[in-house]
Every structure is written in structure tokens, then in C-alpha cells.
Structure 1
Amino acid sequence: MPARQSRRGVVQISEVANDLIDPVLAKRAGINTMLLGSWEEIAGAEFAECTRPERIAWPRRASEMAGEGGGHQPGVLTIACEGARALFLSHQQGEIIQRINGFFGFPAVSQVRIVQKPVALHTRHRPRPRPLTGAAARHLDELVEGIEGEALKAALKRLGTAVLGRRR
């Protein structure tokens, strides 16, 4: 898929994806892709691998329900944490809250709620695509022939093998 053009030039695919994903995340979980992308820095090396921000629950106030404006009230950040690490995370809540608020630039979070659950993405085992033979293999070789970078060429060949080698 080619990059989208705008007045300021080419737009990265990640920007397009973030523009699509952020409204959904904001509505469902009160978070954005920037928070998710910066989570490793916010959580620190100690908790980056075993935690994940799940949602920020913003309080509903009577003045909002009555249609009046008003000041911002900080929310509650729910963090998924694996197993016994949750105990150590609970001792670091104050620091996590400071880092989150520093990330947002305003007091966005006043509390952290920790839920114990698996965080690591479990990758299901997928069978390797069958190797291409004959005309399909030659066609794929022709398609990637002009690619200069060996790593990119190898990645495109793997992708092409997976796509062209699919069983129908």
C-alpha cells in the first residue's frame, strides 16, 4: 500500500494507522497508541515485559451529566500484570503515576488498579508455507529481482511464499 500524500508531503503508514486506531482506543479504553508505544519507557525495564496498560477510567461527575463544563478530574489506570510481579508493581504505583502524568503533561491519573493476567502475546504455531516450485517460484524471483537490500529481499520472498503458497 503506498504512502498517503498530504500537503506536508508523504505520510507514514503508522500515522494513518494511529489516526484510525486512536479514536477507537480512546472511546473504549481511554488510552492512545502513543501511550502504548511509550509504555516501555513509562513502566521501566523492570515492568515493561510483564505489564500492559489496559484502560483509563475517567470519573463521571454530576456537572458533566447536567451538561455543564468543568475542570478535569484524573482517572484510574488499569494495568494488566503477570503473576507475582503485581506485588512489586503495587509498591511502585506512585512512581508509575508520576511517569504517566509526566507523559500526558497534566494530572491524568490519580490511581492505579492492577489486574493479574497474562500479558505476553501467545503466538500460535503456524505451519510453514509449502515451498514454491515451478512457475510460481520463478515469478516470485522475478518480482524481487530489483531489490537491493538482502534482508528486505529475504523478507519479501518469505511474504511472497506465504501468499502464493496458500492452499486454496
Structure 2
Amino acid sequence: MLQISPEHIMQQRRSSPAGRPSGTDGSDFSYRMVVDSRYTKVAKGKSHLKALFALQTVSQVIGSLLLWVSASQGPELNRFAVLSVSIGFISLIIGHIGQRRSQVNLLRAYTFISCIATAFSIARMVRNDVLLKVIHYKNVEALTNYELLKVAHLLFGVVLQIFVFIIVPSLVRNMSPPKRSQ
């Protein structure tokens, strides 16, 4: 009597000409494709968010260094700069936890808090009249290298914030379960 081993049966299932195990009828194909597409979008969104976190971390480190240089030059510390850097780091921590745990509410909080940090950064520049110098003189050469670095840092932060507004809502939409129509 011929005995068939379990390994032989599994080998036959794997090498089916239809490309799927012989035990399925294929009726769940469309459902699997919808779920797979959403999971793929979530994975891409998370990888984009991870790259954005890296860039924002670099921006926050640069902001911290600019704050340190500013503190060493004068006795008065700009409150908006301190708030911007502090809130920026807090938002990065919240966003990173939200991304790791796939928690939509933390990602929304990250978007809101990072927006506040960017607003404080803009307020810092307006308070120091650096942007008004550029607009008034219409010449970047009127700025010192330090002021020019602060303006470049601000513009970099604003561009990153625009990407936050693009990436995070898309990721949240794909992470949330689809709404049922009634």
C-alpha cells in the first residue's frame, strides 16, 4: 500500500498551476485585493512619515543650535524660540509613538502640535524683524549669516509642515476602517 506523506501533500498545494493553494475557490480574491491595497498604502505612508520625522529631527536640532547660539550672544532669550523648539520636540515624540503604535489620535495630535511649533517659529522671526528686513531692503545681502541661517531654517520648517499636512491625513484615512454606508 502506498502512503502519502504530509510533506508531499503540502508540496502539491504549493505548486498549483493557478498560483494559489488548491483548497481555495478564489471567491475571496476581490476582498483580499482591497485589504492588501489599504495595507500597502499604510506601509508607504508610514515610511514617508518616518523620513519626515528624520528631517524634522534635523530641523529641531538646527533650531536648538540656533537657540544655543542666540543664548550665548545676549542676555535675553527669545521665548518664541524656546517654545518652538520645545513644542517641536514634544510633537515629534507624540508623532513617533503614534506611528509606531498606529494610533490615529496621536498622529492627529502630532499634526496639530507641530503646526503650533511652526507658528511659534514664524512668530519668532516676525518679532525679530528679520523677515521685514528682507522685504524692506529686497536684498538678502543685508542679512548677517546668522540671520540668513534662521530664515533658511524657518523656510525649511514651513516646507516640512506642508508635507505633514499632506502625509498624515492620508495615512490616517488609510489606517481608519472604512465607513459603512447605511
Q: Normalised by the size of structure 2, how large is the TM-score?
A: 0.22
Higher relative contact order (CA 8 A, sep 6+): 2
Q: Normalised by the size of structure 1, how large is the TM-score?
A: 0.24
Tell me which protein shows more strand as a share of its residues. Answer: 1
Q: Which has the greater radius of gyration? A: 2
